[in-house]
């Protein structure tokens, strides 16, 4: 089996597995929608003439973000709800959120660029989703949401929250990254995503920084260089494998 997509020269690859393994100068090989190898060293055995190759030199790769508390526009007419939901989901997708957990079964969808799941169960971990609700007692472990759909909340990104938690409250980068990747995947039984491991779905973000710490300490500048869903790059342009 050869790779349909291969990302090479990754400065830092944050797997978000149970040990939070970080690989340096690494590569990821994907066969259609699944990850078939992550490693360092030579990747040539995974190549054939049809493999699409992305060079991530000077960049880091993380799992695509998961928002665990998306609230759709249920207070408006159905037609307006669908239109406004589509606009909100597009804005969140532009900020690396490729999977969402929703409170409305009518908002469920699985598309090439983004999945929305309806889940009835409430997470056991606390969810942080508003800057004005933060205090000095930040939970040791938590989930993160951009809080879109809550009253007077129209934030489409988790970057403002993570920036404040990292810079002001000194929350470590591992806790922040896990709160928007592996932990929500585990809480809502989305076991095919949330980490970069062999056999998992290839939902990936390539960031224009060498470390995730650089990402969390930057605000107001777009740092997502590439987005890959189900092993296919769709941002900044489609790359069909």
Which residue in 23, 34, 157, 28 sits closest to 89, CA to CA? Answer: 157
Position 182 pLDDT exceeds 60? yes
Distance between CA atoms of residues 165 and 232, nearest Å: 32
Position 104 pLDDT exceeds 90? no
Residue given tokens 């928007």 in the structure block: 180
Which DSSP category does 128 fall into?
A: E
Q: For 110-152, where are the alpha helices, taking DSSP H only?
A: none
Position 38 pLDDT exceeds 60? yes
Which residue in 169, 98, 105, 113 sits closest to 137, CA to CA? Answer: 169
Q: What tokens does 162 get?
A: 């993570």
Which residue in 54, 21, 1 sits closest to 197, CA to CA? Answer: 21
Q: Quote the pLDDT of residue 60.
A: 98
Position 214 pLDDT exceeds 90? yes
Q: Are 101 and 194 in contact (CB under 8 A)?
A: no
| DSSP class per residue in 171-240 | --HHHHHHHTTHHHHHHTT-TTSSS--TTSB--EEEESSSSHHHHHT--SS--EEEEEETTEEEESS-B-
Q: Which has the minimum average pLDDT: 23-27, 57-61, 80-84, 112-116?
A: 80-84
Mean pLDDT of the chain: 90
**Helix, strand, coil content of the chain in percent (nearest 5):** 20, 30, 50
Strand pairing category for 224-229 and 115-118 = unpaired
Q: Are 100 and 67 in contact (CB under 8 A)?
A: yes
Q: How far is CA 62 from CA 12, 105, 197, 226, in A?
A: 9, 29, 11, 11
Q: Quote the pLDDT of residue 70.
A: 82
Position 153 pLDDT exceeds 90? no
pLDDT (average), residues 27-40: 98
Q: Are 215 and 95 in contact (CB under 8 A)?
A: no
Element (H, E) at 226: strand 224-229
Which residue in 177, 68, 64, 187 sits closest to 116, CA to CA? Answer: 68
Position 209 pLDDT exceeds 90? yes
Cis before 236 (ω within 30): yes
More confident residue, 189 or 110: 189
| Band (184; pLDDT cuts 50, 70, 90) | very high
Position 75 pLDDT exceeds 60? no
CA 201 to chain centre: 12
Distance between CA atoms of residues 45 and 206, nearest Å: 23
């Amino acid at each position: 089996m050869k790779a349909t997509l291969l990302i090479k020269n990754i400065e830092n690859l944050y797997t978000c597995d149970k040990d939070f393994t970080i690989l340096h100068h690494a590569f990821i090989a994907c066969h259609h929608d699944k990850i078939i190898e992550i490693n360092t060293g030579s990747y040539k055995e995974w190549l054939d003439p049809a493999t699409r190759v992305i060079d991530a030199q000077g960049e880091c790769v993380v799992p695509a973000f998961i928002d665990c508390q998306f609230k759709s526009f249920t207070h408006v007419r159905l037609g307006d709800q669908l239109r406004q939901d589509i606009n909100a989901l597009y804005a969140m997708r532009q900020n690396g959120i490729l999977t969402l957990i929703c409170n409305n079964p009518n908002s469920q969808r699985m598309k090439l660029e983004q999945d929305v799941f309806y889940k009835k169960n409430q997470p056991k971990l606390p969810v942080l989703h508003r800057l004005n609700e933060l205090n000095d007692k930040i939970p040791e472990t938590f989930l993160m949401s951009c809080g879109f759909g809550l009253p007077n909340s129209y934030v489409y990104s988790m970057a403002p929250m993570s920036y404040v938690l990292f810079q002001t409250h000194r929350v470590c980068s591992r806790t922040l990254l896990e709160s928007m990747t592996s932990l929500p995947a585990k809480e809502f039984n989305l076991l095919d995503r949330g980490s970069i491991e062999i056999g998992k779905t290839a939902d990936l973000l390539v960031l224009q920084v060498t470390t995730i710490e650089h990402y969390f300490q930057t605000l107001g500048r777009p740092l997502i260089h590439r987005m890959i869903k189900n092993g296919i790059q769709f941002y900044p342009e489609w790359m069909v494998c």
